[in-house]
């Protein structure tokens, strides 16, 4: 839904969340309308980093090369990196000295965004962009804006929710008493998550995706020597990137099509690519721009089918890791320190200073594993129909927003949040992962950048601006 302010009329905007999505939106809106009052509300000290680029260590690399992290800021990311060759020597070595193809530490992209925000917030440059340190807990009564935990009221014409990925929820299964004990680490990204973990103790990780990859590498780098066992339903870990080759788009004219049909189509394309010596990775790269359109055309039944049967296999092929990260995981597996099994937790039993997990193995059989701690690596939370984060709960209770039936985010029309009757708001918007029900893959930098650019255009146009559609992602270009 497009918003058409008077061309030069000053407006006030409050952005809830100062991670990547909120920071990028604030920067680009400020660049377009420097005289507007734009406030970024964020409880953390540092703006622009979020969890992805803040709660990480030097060994955590970007999952895509530098070239895919360009977002239209000045200087560009590659230009900013160029004089920092010493800091990224290993990444350049891995890429043969080609900076656009290098996988650099995630911290460096966080540094880059934080520096751009710092410049915009500096006393010399400050005109309309400000940061407010605090947590928004609900919308104002009888007025637009947000209330902070300390009682401050931030009034605004427009409220934009950019809260990023929400904390993981506890996994299901039996013996949930464990989640209230010291054995359980509910959020592996919390600052004190691994306080008290001994170097020799065995660790049980629930999940085998990108979160598990990060945590395993963090523990190994910190000198952890104990056994690490990761349990997931299918026991599949993210696959590696591979350079070389090219593959043309092949999904655009097949939409709409059922999940099973598209899965077969991708398998067939991979077989064709393999016969021509082209890595399967290029097939998935060519499919990426069509993802939003595919998801958008599926009905609820088809989306459920994908989430239940195909999502894991899609994720490990689509959300890949840098080659050196994949090599590091394989090395840990080869020496027996890391093991990944397919199965589900059958129950827990407390045994002194350890907890014993019973595991039903996929395909039959059982196993027991004694661990000092159990780590929740199931990924970001998304059950918005029940989640008790104050602002989300307030939106739900006041019927200003509604969760989608699949529990992956908030219902939106483009970026406009839809209320309990389905009507899109004229003043409440959302960006990034909160809008997954509409676009599905809206967590990576290129997709969020497309979404941010379109919302900025909508809010700043004196004439009706087009809404974001699946076709905008088709024009994003192939690439990892």
User: What are the tokens at 13?
Assistant: 């905007």
In-domain check, residue 90: yes
Residue 1: predicted pLDDT: 43
Residues forming beta bridges with residue 205, ordered by sequence position: 230, 375
The residue from 289, 318, 347 where one domain ends is 318
User: What are the tokens at 457?
Assistant: 């255009």
Q: Is the pLDDT of residue 435 over 70?
A: yes
Whether residue 157 is found in the same domain as residue 99 = yes
Whether residue 263 is found in the same domain as residue 397 = no
CA gap 275, 247 in Å, rounded: 12
C-alpha distances in angstroms, 107 versus 61, 71, 88, 327, 433?
A: 8, 17, 11, 21, 20
C-alpha distances in angstroms, 465 versus 4, 10, 73, 196?
A: 8, 18, 22, 54
Whether residue 329 is found in the same domain as residue 235 = yes
120, 33 contact by CB (below 8 A): no
Whether residue 56 is found in the same domain as residue 137 = yes
Whether residue 104 is found in the same domain as residue 78 = yes
Residue 478: predicted pLDDT: 53
Percentage of the chain surpassing pLDDT 70? 94
The residue from 301, 318, 335 where one domain ends is 318
- State how many domains the chain has: 3
Percentage of the chain surpassing pLDDT 90? 72
Whether residue 36 is found in the same domain as residue 110 = yes
Torsion of CA 196, 200, 206, 211, to 10 degrees: 80
Confidence at 123, pLDDT banded by 50, 70, 90:
low
CA gap 223, 177 in Å, rounded: 30
Query: What DSSP character marks residue 104?
Result: -
Q: Is the pLDDT of residue 330 over 60?
A: yes
In-domain check, residue 360: yes
In-domain check, residue 480: no
Confidence at 4, pLDDT banded by 50, 70, 90:
very low
Whether residue 264 is found in the same domain as residue 395 = no
Average pLDDT, the chain: 90
Give, in degrees to the nearest 5, the angle at Cα 413 between 48 and 389: 50
User: What are the tokens at 392?
Assistant: 């989300």
In-domain check, residue 244: no
Q: Which domain holds residue 258?
A: 252-318
What is the number of residues in the chain? 480
Confidence at 124, pLDDT banded by 50, 70, 90:
low
Whether residue 151 is found in the same domain as residue 298 = no
Give the tens place of pLDDT for each residue, 245-304.
999 999 888 888 899 999 999 999 999 999 999 999 999 999 988 888 899 899 999 999
Long-range contacts at 245-248 (CB < 8 A, ≥ 24 apart): 245/273, 245/277, 245/278, 245/279, 245/282, 246/278, 246/282, 247/273, 247/278, 247/282, 247/283, 247/285, 247/286, 247/478, 248/286
Whether residue 211 is found in the same domain as residue 313 = no
CA gap 17, 149 in Å, rounded: 14
Confidence at 6, pLDDT banded by 50, 70, 90:
very low
* Helix/strand/coil for 137: strand
Whether residue 284 is found in the same domain as residue 402 = no
The residue from 361, 376, 391 where one domain ends is 376
Distance in Å from the first CA to the final CA of the chain = 30
Q: Is the pLDDT of residue 442 over 90?
A: no
User: What are the tokens at 274?
Assistant: 């393999």
In-domain check, residue 1: no
CATH of the domain at 423: 3.50.50.60
In-domain check, residue 413: yes
Residue 188: predicted pLDDT: 93
User: What are the tokens at 447?
Assistant: 């997709």
Calculate mean pLDDT across residues 150-160: 96
Give the tens place of pLDDT for each residue, 350-386.
999 999 999 999 999 999 999 999 999 998 877 777 7
DSSP code per residue over 282-332 = HHHHHHGGGHHHHHHH--HHHHHHIIIIIHHHHHHHHS-B-HHHHHHHHHH
Whether residue 310 is found in the same domain as residue 338 = no
In-domain check, residue 114: yes
Confidence at 470, pLDDT banded by 50, 70, 90:
low
Give the tens place of pLDDT for each residue, 202-251.
999 999 999 999 999 999 999 999 999 999 999 999 999 998 999 999 98
Whether residue 430 is found in the same domain as residue 287 = no
Give the tens place of pLDDT for each residue, 452-465.
999 999 999 877 66
Picking from 357, 352, 382, 353, the residue whose alpha carbon sits closest to that of residue 367 is 357
């Amino acid at each position: 839904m497009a918003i058409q302010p008077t061309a030069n009329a000053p407006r006030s905007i409050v952005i809830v969340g100062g991670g990547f999505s909120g920071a990028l939106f604030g920067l680009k809106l400020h660049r377009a309308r420097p005289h507007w009052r734009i406030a970024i509300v964020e409880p953390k000290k540092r703006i622009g980093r979020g969890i992805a680029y803040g709660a990480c260590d030097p060994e955590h690399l970007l999952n895509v090369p530098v070239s895919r992290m360009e977002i239209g800021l000045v200087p560009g990311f590659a230009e900013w990196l160029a004089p920092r060759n010493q800091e990224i020597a290993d990444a350049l070595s891995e890429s043969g000295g080609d900076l656009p193809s290098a996988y650099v530490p995630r911290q460096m992209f966080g540094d880059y965004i934080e520096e751009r925000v710092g410049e915009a917030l500096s006393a010399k440059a400050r005109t309309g962009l400000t940061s407010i340190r605090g947590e928004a807990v609900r919308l104002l009564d009888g007025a637009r804006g947000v209330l902070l935990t300390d009682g401050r009221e931030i009034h605004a014409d427009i409220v934009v929710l950019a809260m990023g990925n929400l904390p993981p929820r506890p996994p299901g299964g039996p013996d949930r008493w464990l989640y209230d004990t010291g054995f359980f680490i509910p959020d592996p990204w919390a600052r004190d998550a691994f306080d008290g973990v001994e170097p020799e103790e065995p660790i049980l990780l629930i999940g085998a995706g990108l979160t598990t990859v990060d945590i395993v590498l963090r523990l190994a780098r910190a000198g952890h020597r104990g056994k690490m066992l990761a349990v997931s339903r299918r026991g599949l870990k993210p696959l590696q990137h591979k350079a070389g080759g090219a593959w043309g788009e092949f999904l655009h004219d097949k939409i709409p099509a059922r999940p099973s049909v598209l899965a077969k189509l991708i398998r067939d394309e991979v077989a064709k690519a393999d016969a021509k010596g082209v890595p399967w990775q290029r097939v998935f790269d060519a499919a990426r721009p069509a993802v939003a359109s595919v998801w958008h055309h599926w009905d609820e039944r088809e989306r459920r089918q994908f989430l239940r049967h195909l999502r894991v296999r899609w994720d490990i092929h689509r959300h890949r890791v840098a080659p050196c990260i994949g090599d590091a995981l394989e090395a840990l597996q080869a020496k027996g320190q890391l093991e990944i099994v397919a199965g589900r937790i059958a129950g827990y039993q407390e045994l002194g200073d350890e907890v014993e997990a019973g595991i039903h193995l996929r395909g039959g059989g059982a196993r027991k594993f004694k661990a000092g701690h159990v780590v929740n690596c199931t990924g970001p939370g998304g059950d918005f129909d029940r989640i008790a984060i104050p602002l989300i709960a307030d939106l739900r209770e006041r019927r200003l927003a509604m969760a989608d039936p699949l529990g992956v985010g908030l219902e939106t029309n483009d970026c406009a949040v839809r209320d309990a009757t389905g009507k899109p708001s004229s003043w409440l918007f959302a960006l990034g992962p909160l809008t997954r029900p509409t676009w599905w893959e809206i967590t990576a930098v290129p997709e969020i950048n497309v979404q941010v650019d379109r919302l900025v255009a909508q809010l700043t146009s004196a004439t009706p601006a087009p809404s974001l559609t699946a076709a905008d992602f088709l024009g994003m270009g192939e690439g990892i």
